[in-house]
């Protein structure tokens, strides 16, 4: 009987460790805080389309720059260039530009979110590709809808 109890406690302890390790840690793994389903295959909202509110393809100027203006102003706008990134002209500063964090990666690689260091900084997966520091934005958070829009914009080819 004591052996059974010991095995059961060990089994429960191992199960608890395994379950804790499987807890979702990124938007790719779970349902987001806004109850939007996130696809584990694309990292995007399963209900979201890859177009803007007007039904047009996503563009940097109309769909992405407003996110930078709202969430990144303290460090990356108005002449500030923390981490070598100034988002006053976000498109020109990111698309096709090597990142300082991982020089072998572009900040935004059109058509390839997983190959874009910016995406990894926003998704807090940058350490997994050789980056360091903290996830962005530093003093704020992006809503999952904003992250999905950025992901989709990059995946669609990161148009101006």
Identify whether 18 is part of a domain. Answer: no
Confidence (pLDDT) at 51? 66
pLDDT mean over 1-23 = 45
Kindly give, in sequence order, each residue whose CB lies less than 8 Å from that of residue 98, ignoring residues fewer than 6 positions away.
104, 105, 106, 107
Give residue 111's domain range. 27-155
Beta-bridge partners for 38: 45
Identify whether 62 is part of a domain. Answer: yes
Confidence (pLDDT) at 39? 39
Identify whether 150 is part of a domain. Answer: yes
Q: Is the pLDDT of residue 46 over 50?
A: no
- 70 conformational bin, left if phi > 0, alpha if psi -120 to 50, beta if neither: alpha
Comparing 3 with 35, the larger pLDDT belongs to 3
Across 33-37, 89-93, 154-158, the highest mean pLDDT is recorded for: 154-158
Q: Is the pLDDT of residue 148 over 90?
A: yes
Identify whether 120 is part of a domain. Answer: yes
The residue whose two tokens read 């805080």 is: 33
Confidence (pLDDT) at 127? 97
Q: Is the pLDDT of residue 13 over 50?
A: no
Q: Please give the Cα distance from 149 to 42 (Å, whole number).
A: 12
Identify whether 20 is part of a domain. Answer: no
Confidence (pLDDT) at 53? 72
Q: Is the pLDDT of residue 89 over 50?
A: yes
Tally of domains within the chain: 1
* pLDDT (tens digit per residue) in 90-135: 899 999 999 999 999 999 999 999 999 999 999 999 999 999 999 9
Identify whether 13 is part of a domain. Answer: no
Q: Is the pLDDT of residue 24 over 90?
A: no
Q: What is the DSSP string of 19-67?
A: HHHTS--SGGGSB-TTS-BB-TTTSSBTT--SB-TTSSBP-IIIIIHHH
Identify whether 15 is part of a domain. Answer: no
Q: Mean pLDDT of all residues in the chain?
A: 78
Confidence (pLDDT) at 90? 87
pTM score, two decimals?
0.69
- Picking from 30, 26, 51, 50, the residue whose alpha carbon sits closest to that of residue 39 is 30
pLDDT mean over 37-60 = 60
Identify whether 43 is part of a domain. Answer: yes
């Amino acid at each position: 009987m004591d052996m059974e109890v010991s095995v059961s406690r060990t089994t429960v302890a191992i199960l608890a460790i395994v379950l804790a390790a499987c807890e979702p840690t990124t938007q790719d793994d779970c349902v987001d805080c806004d109850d939007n389903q996130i696809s584990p295959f694309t990292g995007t909202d399963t209900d979201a389309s890859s177009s803007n509110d007007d039904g047009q393809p996503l563009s940097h100027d109309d769909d992405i720059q407003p996110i930078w203006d709202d969430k990144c102003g303290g460090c990356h706008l108005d002449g500030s260039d923390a981490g070598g990134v100034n988002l006053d002209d976000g498109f020109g500063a990111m698309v096709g530009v090597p990142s300082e964090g991982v020089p072998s990666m572009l900040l935004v690689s059109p058509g390839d979110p997983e190959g874009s260091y910016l995406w990894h900084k926003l998704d807090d997966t940058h350490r997994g590709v050789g980056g360091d520091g903290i996830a962005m934005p530093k003093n704020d958070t992006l809503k999952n809808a904003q992250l999905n829009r950025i992901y989709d914009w990059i995946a669609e080819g990161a148009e101006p």
